[in-house]
């Protein structure tokens, strides 16, 4: 320890590092939450695409000649 540094300065540095650690932990957890939300939204979108495709195939089979266009 340098003689010009006081114990109070070390205490302030430890407090700042602790606050920054908590801030980083909070930001990391928010980023993980956002990634989980985006993943869930992507899964939900795939379900809606499948439902739309099924409805389109049923409509095409009924009103478009009996056979889906892609199948």
How far is the C-alpha of 36 from the C-alpha of 60, rounded, in Å? 36
In a domain, 70, yes or no: no
Q: What's the domain range around 41? A: 11-64
In a domain, 38, yes or no: yes
How does pLDDT run across 2-30, given as a tens digit for each residue?
A: 556 666 666 677 777 888 888 999 999 99
In the 8-state DSSP scheme, what is residue 1? Answer: -
In a domain, 59, yes or no: yes
In a domain, 6, yes or no: no
Question: 44, 30 in Cβ contact below 8 A?
Answer: no
In a domain, 46, yes or no: yes
How does pLDDT run across 31-61, given as a tens digit for each residue?
A: 999 999 999 999 999 999 999 999 988 888 8
In a domain, 3, yes or no: no
In a domain, 55, yes or no: yes
Instruction: Please tell me the total count of domains within the chain.
Output: 1
pTM over 0.75: no
């Amino acid at each position: 320890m340098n003689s010009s540094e006081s114990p109070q300065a070390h205490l302030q540095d430890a407090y700042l590092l602790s606050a920054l650690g908590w801030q980083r932990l909070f930001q990391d957890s928010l980023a993980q939450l956002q990634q989980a939300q985006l993943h869930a939204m992507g899964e939900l979108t795939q379900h809606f695409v499948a439902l739309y495709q099924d409805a389109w195939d049923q409509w095409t089979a009924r009103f478009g000649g009996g056979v889906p266009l892609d199948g």
